[in-house]
Structure 1
Amino acid sequence: MGVVVTATPDGGVVPGSLAVYPGTFDPFTPGHHDLVARARVLFDRVIVLLAVNADKRPTAEARTRAARVRDAMPVAWGNVEVDTWAGLTAAYCLRRGATVIVRGLRTAADLGHEYQLAAMNEQLGMQTVWLPARPQLAATSSTVARAYRSAQSARPSPAGTYDHV
């Protein structure tokens, strides 16, 4: 099924490779950014694929999230592309000629779910590569980031200020 990779044997790029890193990226966290940074040196090209998933309720539409992800990419990362897709990730990969799906693992608990996805994608003709999250980034998920953002926006105004009189 999936394989955990931290680098190629010679520390270089897999020649001719196109990797797809799918997710809802709501929001795009430092952990996501780090995975893209690591994937882009392992593969010739990387597509950050914003999944349009009807089962999830993102805080912004796909185009807006895609623009935010694009804005987070350094200009020098010319081998990274951002795209959106509603459908199976494996179907997108096959259509684009991708050789691998990149997925991040934050915790051991993620492995069960990721293993199921990798098994399904393998049946559809796509291999999965798992990149472990860096320890300092593993605690922050998009869910945690959204909860933090929501809590910050719900905080009362500082003492002595009023929204209305």
Structure 2
Amino acid sequence: MSRIAVFPGSFDPFTKGHEDIVRRSLNLFDKVIIAIGNNSQKNRYFDIDFMVPKIENCFLDTKKVEVKVFTGLTADFAKECNANFLIRGLRNTTDFEYENSISQANKYLWKDLETVFMITSPHLAYISSSLIRDIHKYNGDVSGFLPYQL
């Protein structure tokens, strides 16, 4: 049985921290699906149709990564993909408190779904998508935070 993991998020935008988590998770899983949640109630800063090819281009060197867009519950999407694992990156204890609650809810929704927490590499731990959006909004240079060019 293949070990398939889903790495869900809004990825608005996808950062070097996200890329690092995916690359490190390839040592644990046979396939990683980067799952971009599409919430029609939220206004994205970077359009999903813009972001998908940017993320795909980051992983042209491996066939073990797919990028998909989904709506609905993450647990349901993971089940549809035959994935028994969710990957979540943690930068700090605040992330852990938030992610721990979500992982428990996902486990309730599907008992065979395990969440794997990966600690962000120290040199990338300060990067957040909201920080990048704010810098970009005011015409700041965000190239050092992203694994692709805008």
Both structures adopt the same fold (TM-score exceeding 0.5): yes
Cα distance per residue 1:14-71 (max 9 Å; x no partner): x620000001111110000001101112100000000112343211332222122112
Which has the higher Rg, Structure 1 or Structure 2? 1
Answering whether residue 50 of structure 2 is matched by residue 61 of structure 1, we say no
1:132 offset after TM fit, Å?
A: 0.5
Q: Any conservation in 1 of the 2:13–2:46 contact (CA below 8 Å)?
A: no
Question: Which residue matches 1:148?
Answer: 135
Alignment partner, residue 100 of structure 2: 115
TM-score, length-normalised on structure 1? Answer: 0.79
Of 46-55 and 140-149, more deviation after overlay is shown by: 46-55
Cα displacement (A) at 1:93: 0.5
Aligned alpha-carbon RMSD (Å): 1.6
TM-score, normalised to structure 2's length? 0.87
Partner of 2:38: 52
CA distance in 2, matches of 1:76, 1:88: 30
2:83 to 98, 113, 121: 98
Counterpart of 1:76 in structure 2: which amino acid? Answer: D
Gaps in structure 1 of 5+ consecutive residues: 1-14, 154-165
Aligned equivalents of 2:92, 2:29: Cα separation in 1: 24
